[in-house]
Structures are given as C-alpha cells and as structure tokens.
Amino acid sequence: MRDNRLLGSLRAGEASIGTLMTIPDLLVAEVMGTAGVDFLVVDTEHSPMTTEQLHGVLTALYPTESTVLVRVPAHGDVYIKQALDLGAEGVIVPSVSTAAECRAAVASARYAPVGSRGFGPRRASRLHGDRADYLARANGQIAVLAMIETGEAVEAIEEILATGGLDGIMVGPFDLAVSLGHLGDPEHPAVEEAIQKVLLACQGSGVPFGIFSNSLAATQKWVSRGALLTTIGSDLQYLDAGIARTKADLAAVKSASRKES
C-alpha cells in the first residue's frame, strides 16, 4: 500500500488543494488524474455514480499521484466499506452532525481492534503491494474526513473534533447556508461566523480544517486563514468554463465577420 500523501501533508501542517470529480466517465477520470492536484474527490453523494461506475473511475485513476478520496453518499458503514474496498485512499463523510456519527464513521474505516471495518479489500489490496501489506498499513494510511454542514454540527464541533482517529474536517458552505436559513448564500455573515467558529475550534484542537470552495478567490481566502484542505472547482465546472469560453470566442468571430461584411 502506497503512502497516503495527503495524510503526510496534513501531519506536517502543509496545505493541500484538491478538486472534485462528478462525471462517471473513464476518460474524464484519466484526464482529471493528470491535473496535478494534491487530492481528488470522487463525489458519489451529489452525482449519479453507481458502485460499478465508481469501480471504473477508481481504476482509471490508478496511475495518478494525487491521493484519491471518495465522498460517500451518507454516513453509513456500507458506503464507507465499499469505497475503501474498491481502492479509495480515504473517505469524506457528509452530514456528520454529532460526535456519535463521527465516531461511527471513523470506526467504519478502521479494522479491529480500533474500528469495525468489514473484511473484503479484494481490489484495494491489489493496488499497491500485496494483501498482507495492505492489512498491516490500512489503518494508518486511510484518511477519514467528516463534513460539517449543519447548524447542529457547528454547535457540537468541540465534541466532534474530540473523535479519536479523525484526520480532518471539511465544511460544506452551501449546505451549511441551507441549514442556517440562507439558501444559496454561503457568504452570509451568519454562515461566515459559523465557519469561523469551526476554524477556530479546529485550530484549538489540532484537527486539520478544510472547506469546499469553487473558486480561486475562495481557495486563497481560506488557505490564508489557515485551511489545510481546500478544493478548487470540479470536472463539470471546468467543462462549463470551457463552453462559456467557446461561446465568447464564437460571438467574437461572428461579430468581426459582420463588421468586415
């Protein structure tokens, strides 16, 4: 099993920047694998990705040097087990609102005696080394990140951060905004205040703080405030940007043609 580069960076206090994959296509996965980001998040929560498609995407990402994480659909042990057995190097668990939910998520990703992960790493143990090596190292090389995206989670943040084996948190600002009554407004002062509370709690407890961001400006803002985990866009966002650029280019060409005629 290869070293988890993301965990190495987090433990060294170094900031890591990743991006999201939402399109269940092997060629897209191969292209995304060359992006050079620190980590890739394969999103199975908000994308129509089946377990079979996830298997294919993870296979296509095999050559990448980026750490490959899967955002599972929910905080259930079946989802976590499937993602890890298919070869994910870590999981991001959504909607963790209580310390009990956080403890359950961490336990689902660790083999006994420290956790309750079921046995069956048929693909994972073949990726890097042999089964014995995987089993010996998995507990120390699998990353578990909990998503903070509800008002309840913000109120319970101290207890959540006390969870043993938790490698970091990721704030979901859009869902947090919804939870706080500010749909579509993640920059509302109340949302910013809640995120700042989580950031300060992370800094006080030594647990890496992370946040999903969808722009360079947002990424730079949070890294400057001490975030060790941020994202910058997604495959779909890059596609949208390319289409917008093409539309602008087409409009410019047609405008120039009309002037010439």
DSSP code for 260 = H
Residues in Cβ contact with 160 at an 8 Å cutoff, skipping those fewer than 6 apart = 96, 98, 99, 102, 146, 148, 153, 166, 169
DSSP string, 170-203: EE-HHHHHHHTT-TT-TTSHHHHHHHHHHHHHHH
Cβ–Cβ under 8 Å, residues 141 and 10: no
- Cβ–Cβ < 8 Å for 205, 161: yes
Taking the alpha carbons at both ends of the chain, their separation in whole angstroms is: 64
128 is catalytic: no
Residue 181 is encoded by which pair of tokens? 């009554």
Chain centroid to Cα 104, Å, comes to 18
In this structure, what token pair is assigned to residue 153?
Answer: 């989670």
Angle at 27 between CA 21 and CA 31, to 5 degrees: 65
Among candidate residues 46, 128, 182, 188, the one labeled active-site is 46
Instruction: Tell me how far apart the alpha carbons of residues 181 and 185 are, in angstroms, rounded to a whole number.
Output: 9
What does the alpha-carbon distance between residue 150 and residue 156 come to, in Å, rounded to a whole number? 10
**Measured between alpha carbons, how far is 14 from 64 in angstroms, rounded to an integer?**
20
Active site residues per annotation: 46
